[in-house]
Amino acid sequence: MYYSNGNYEAFARPRKPQGVDQKSAHLIGGGVASLAAAAFPISDGQMAGSRITVYEASSITGGCLDGIKDPVEGYLSRSEREMEDHYECMWDLYRSIASLDVEGASVLDDFYPINKD
Amino acid sequence: MVRNYDRINAQPPEGINEKRAHILGGGIAGLAAAAFLVDDAHMPGTNVTVYEASGTTGGAMDAAGDAETGYKPRGHRELHASHECLWYLCGKVPSIHTPGATVLEETYDVNVREPIRSNFRLMARQGERHEVTGPLMSAEDGRKMLDLWLTPEEDLDGITLGDWFSPEFFNSVYWLCWSTMFAFWPYHSVMEARRYMLRYADLTGSNVGALEGILHPKYNEYHSFTLPLHKWLESQGVKFRTSTSVTDIAVSEQGGETVATGVTLRDADGEHRLQLTRDDLVFFTNGSIVQNATQADTTTVATLNRDTADRGVFTVWEKLAARDPRFGNPAAFLSDVDKTNFYTFMATITGDRTFHDHMEAKTGSKGSTGGMLSVVDSNWKLNLLPLGKYHPDQPADVHVLHGYGQLSGVPGNHVEKPMRECTGAEVLAEVLYHCGLKGKIAAILEHSKVHTAALPYITSQFMPRKISDRPKVIPDGCVNLAFLGQYVELPDDVVFTVETSVRTAMVAVWGLTGLEKPMVPMPQPYYDVRVLADNVKMMTGTDITADTLHTLVEGGSGREATDSEAPTPAPTR
């Protein structure tokens, strides 16, 4: 395993791994670990998304990163996570995921100013 | 350290669509400013104009000539993995040689396949290896270097390397390796040297002779960096006006703020004045390391240009500085071309492998992978850089060698003339002599085209100075004027790197547009305890221990730190 240091490596896409077009990914469990493991083969490993399947026991992905809106019973969240600015792998993931709220922004782009102001 | 969390795309700054950018100088700093304006600050590309005095953009990152008449770049830049702002820029720009890749990816890939590692850093006695093992410097100079690390730079105004170190230091293995990497000489600023020692502490510790971490472009700097960036900016709507020089910038005080109100430009049709408002952002590169360069070929001599009346952007900077001390003091850098010049050369050798086979056998390095080789007993202080494929269109039987001589005014060892009085052929003859090819000089010259360049100001940015001699990127009070390039004060940063130019562009664009985006931090390898331990061991000969650290903190000076125990010579790899 080679750990990168800065922009020189962060912004260079790696070469396409050998044989990646013949491989399939089976992700058992649909929490954030699995979802991230499904995203990196696409963004970095250059695997076709159609070769990746996520299996999840419950009816919704995300595991404990949950948030149910129920106007009758009240909002449901089973717990809460703390996040910090040095979560390198997490922010590397979310700078390549599009925000659902702000057009043209990544989840990170949307998150960053909220926590700055 | 650069954190992924800070790698955001920021929202467009208020009013950015109504602003215009006038970029004065089309070197890498100006091109980078255009890129950051368009891609980070969301300015429409058509609002950005780059003005360049010469006929091509790229400044010192050039590559004129061709295989037939010989290539003729004026110089060569060293690149490093820690050049955060440069690689950020290159990550945006599509390569023009490698389909689907960015310039960064192309550079990354070539350095994975052909990494630089020197096995033959120093040469002496007509082609013999000069060892880089053994003590790198004397115990006394090791203490002085540690003392330098611990001295705040505010105390170093106007002091030279020669003032600080002992005369023997300038014959040490450390100096021979270190000074030739960055082109320092004993009359240069110790403040600047200290910044280099700290900024590149991971590159220039006990492994200083290895050059590990130095990167090279796929081809030359013009075709690998300048041209793709220029083309990409054009595709974004950025306008270029070459053969257009700036002759003055008008500035006025308005209610406690400093506003650039006009720019005077000169082109083939004469002088023109641009009237400016606060919405006109001016990015001025106030100096060029290739200013007043002259070039010559195999049979002619490049005359050192000593003219002080017309020095292009330096002259514009002199006008500005004469009116306002916030704009610095160009005289600190521009007053002694005998100290600030050096000469470069490029040999293009066709259909004769003698030289390259000889050097490959000697160094064990192919193409560009050996990095720079310095000739320690050369009167001219020659530094040689054998290169691999230099030009995209270079035929297979064409080989190139680039190099420079730090001292142009003293006679050579074989050619009994100073470098500045030599033709290209004579320069190559001196080089071949030092490489142990004295008997083959005439035969190799028959196959060679040699271009030389006289660069009067190439190390002027290293001259002894005070902090205030360089303007800040955005001088205090300025609302629409920024300074870019090598003659600008960036806290902690060095000068004479491509990274410096790109960083000044980034600071200028973030600052003048009000972009809410984190600035890429300065690399600080000296806060890595492994790097610190390696450097302290090199300087003092002792392993870093809790006691050493305690003494450093308590004493605040390396002298006290090591006087109690007799230092042993610094061991090396």
| Concatenated DSSP letters of A43-66 | HTT---GGGEEEE-SSSSSBTTS-
Active site residue B222: no
* Chain B nearest C-alpha distance from A78 (Å): 26
B36 interface with A at CB cutoff 8 Å: no
CB atoms within 10 A of CB B139: 17
Dihedral pair phi/psi, residue A35, rounded to 5°: -65, -40
Closest CA to B345 of B299, B390, B413, B401: B401
Q: Distance between CA B538 and CA B206 in Å, rounded?
A: 6
Cβ neighbours of A95 in B, within 8 Å: 4, 7-8
Q: Which residues of B334-346 are buried (b: 16+ CB within 10 A; e: fewer)?
A: beebeebbbbbbb
Distance from CA of B4 to the nearest CA of A (A): 5
Q: In chain B, which stretches have pLDDT less than 70? A: 548-573
- Band of pLDDT at residue A7, cut at 50, 70 and 90: confident
What pLDDT, on a 0 to 100 scale, did the predictor assign at position B552? Answer: 63
Instruction: Please give the structure tokens belonging to residue B409.
Output: 């005014």
Query: B216 with B110: CB under 8 angstroms?
Result: yes
- Flag if B87 and A13 touch (Cβ within 8 Å): no
Could you say which residues from 112 to 151 on chain B have a Cβ atom under 8 Å away from some Cβ of chain A? none
Tell me, what amino acid is at A33?
A
What integer pLDDT is reported at residue B560 of this predicted model?
Answer: 41
| pLDDT digits 0-9 by tens, B238-291 | 999 999 999 999 999 999 999 999 999 999 999 999 999 999 999 999 999 999
Whether B5 sits inside 8 A of A5 (CB atoms) is no
Q: B84 — contact with chain A (CB < 8 Å)?
A: yes
Residue B300 vs residues B295, B421, B453, B457, B459: alpha-carbon distances, Å: 9, 9, 11, 21, 24
In which band, very low, low, confident or very high, does the pLDDT at A1 lie, cut at 50, 70 and 90? low
Going by C-beta distance under 8 Å and a sequence separation of 6 or more, which residues neighbour residue B459?
B183, B184, B185, B188, B339, B340, B341, B342, B496
Q: Residue B134: helix, strand or coil by DSSP?
A: coil
Give Cα separations from B437 to A69, B295, B354, B424, B445 (angstroms): 82, 26, 9, 17, 12
SS3 B47: helix
Nearby residues of B96 by Cβ (< 8 Å), 6 or more positions away: B223, B227, B228, B231
pLDDT of residue B555: 53
Cross-chain CB nearest to A12 (options B10, B83, B108): B108
Residue where the block lists tokens 């890129």: B35
Residue tagged active-site, from B196, B343, B404, B487: B196
Interface touch A12/B88, C-beta < 8 Å: no
Compute the distance between CA of residue B458 and CA of residue B455 in angstroms, rounded to an integer.
5
- Chain B residue with the nearest C-alpha to that of A9: B108
Residue A96 with chain B: CB contacts under 8 Å: none
| Distance from the A64 Cα atom to the nearest Cα atom in chain B, whole angstroms | 22
Q: Of residues B52, B78, B84, B318, which has the active-site annotation?
A: B78
Instruction: Identify the helix (H) or strand (E) that includes residue A9.
Output: helix A7-10
Q: How far is it, in rounded angstroms, from Cα B97 to Cα B103?
A: 9
- Give the contacts of B176 (CB within 8 A, at least 6 positions apart): B122, B130, B374, B376
Q: Which residue in B340, B410, B354 sits closest to B382, CA to CA?
A: B410
- Which of A13, A88, A113 comes nearest B4 by C-beta? A88
Contact at CB, A116 and B516, closer than 8 angstroms = yes
Chain A environment of B6 (Cβ under 8 Å): 85
Fill in the amino acid letter for B538: M
Asked if the C-beta of B14 comes within 8 angstroms of chain A's C-beta atoms, the answer is: no
Q: Report CA-CA distances (Å) from B389 to A113, B356, B373.
A: 46, 12, 18
B47: left (phi over 0), alpha (psi -120 to 50) or beta: alpha
Q: Do A6 and B10 touch (CB under 8 A)?
A: no
Site from B5, B95, B106, B212 to mutate, A interface, most A CB atoms within 10 angstroms: B5
How far apart CA B210 and CA B177 sit, in angstroms, is 9
Residue B386's H or E segment, with its range, is strand B382-387
Cα B294 from Cα B453, distance rounded (Å): 6
Name the β-bridge partners of B49. Answer: B22, B239
User: Closest by alpha carbon to B488, among B333, B345, B296?
Assistant: B333
Q: What is the pLDDT of residue B542?
A: 78
B52 SS3 class: coil
Contacts of A56 (CB under 8 A, 6+ apart): A29, A30, A34
Residue B505 · residue B285 · CB < 8 Å: no
Q: What is the pLDDT of residue B233?
A: 98
Contacts of residue A112 in chain B, CB cutoff 8 Å? 5, 8
| The token pair that represents B510 in the structure block | 């973030």
Which residue reads 């003005």 in tokens?
B51
**Ramachandran quadrant class, B70 (left: phi over 0; alpha: psi -120 to 50; beta: rest):** left
How many Å lie between the alpha carbon of A21 and the closest alpha carbon of chain B?
Answer: 18
Cα–Cα distance for residue pair B333/B94, rounded to 1 Å: 37
Distance, in Å, from the CA atom of B43 to the CA atom of B15, rounded to the nearest integer, reads: 9
Minimal C-alpha gap between A11 and chain B (Å):
6
Minimal C-alpha gap between B104 and chain A (Å) = 6
Clarify whether B426 is annotated catalytic. Answer: no
Best interface-test mutation with A: which of B8, B85, B522 has the largest number of A CBs within 10 A?
B8
pLDDT of residue A11: 85
pLDDT digit string, tens, across residues A24-79:
999 999 999 999 999 999 999 999 999 999 999 999 999 999 988 888 988 988 88
Question: pTM for the complete prediction?
Answer: 0.93
Among A68, A63, A60, A65, smallest CA distance to A80 is for A65
**Which residue of chain B comes nearest to A12, CA vs CA?**
B105
Neighbours of B357 (CB within 10 A): 11
Q: Which residues of B touch A89 (CB under 8 A)?
A: 4
Separation between Cα atoms, residue A17 and residue A14, nearest integer Å: 8
Q: Give the best residue of A7, A44, A86 to mutate against chain B (max B CB count within 10 A).
A: A7
Q: Which residue has the tokens 């215009």?
A: B20
Cross-chain CB nearest to B104 (options A11, A87, A108): A11
Name the band, by pLDDT with cuts 50, 70 and 90, for residue A116. Answer: confident
CA atoms within 13 A on the CB side of B529: 6
Burial of A83 (0-12, 13-18, 19+ CB in 10 A): exposed
- What tokens appear for B136 in the block? 């790198």
Interface size between A and B, measured as CB pairs under 8 A: 82
Which chain A residue lies closest to B91 (C-alpha atoms)? A11
Residues in chain A whose Cβ is within 8 Å of chain B = 5-13, 15, 85-92, 95, 104-106, 108-109, 112-113, 116
- Closest approach of chain A CAs to the CA of B321, in angstroms? 36
Residue A99 and residue A103: Cα distance in Å, rounded? 7
Position B568 scores a pLDDT of 41
Q: Is B192 on the interface with A (CB under 8 A)?
A: no
Which residue from B70, B374, B39, B367 is spatially nearest to B217, judged by alpha carbons?
B367
ipTM: 0.86
Please state, in angstroms and rounded to a whole number, the distance separating the CA atoms of residues A34 and A17. 20
From chain B, the residues in CB contact with A88 under 8 A are 3-5
Interface of B with A in 508-527 (CB under 8 A): 516, 520, 523
CB within 8 A of B467, min separation 6: which ones?
A: B153, B154, B157, B489
Question: In chain A, which residue's Cα lies nearest the Cα of B2?
Answer: A6
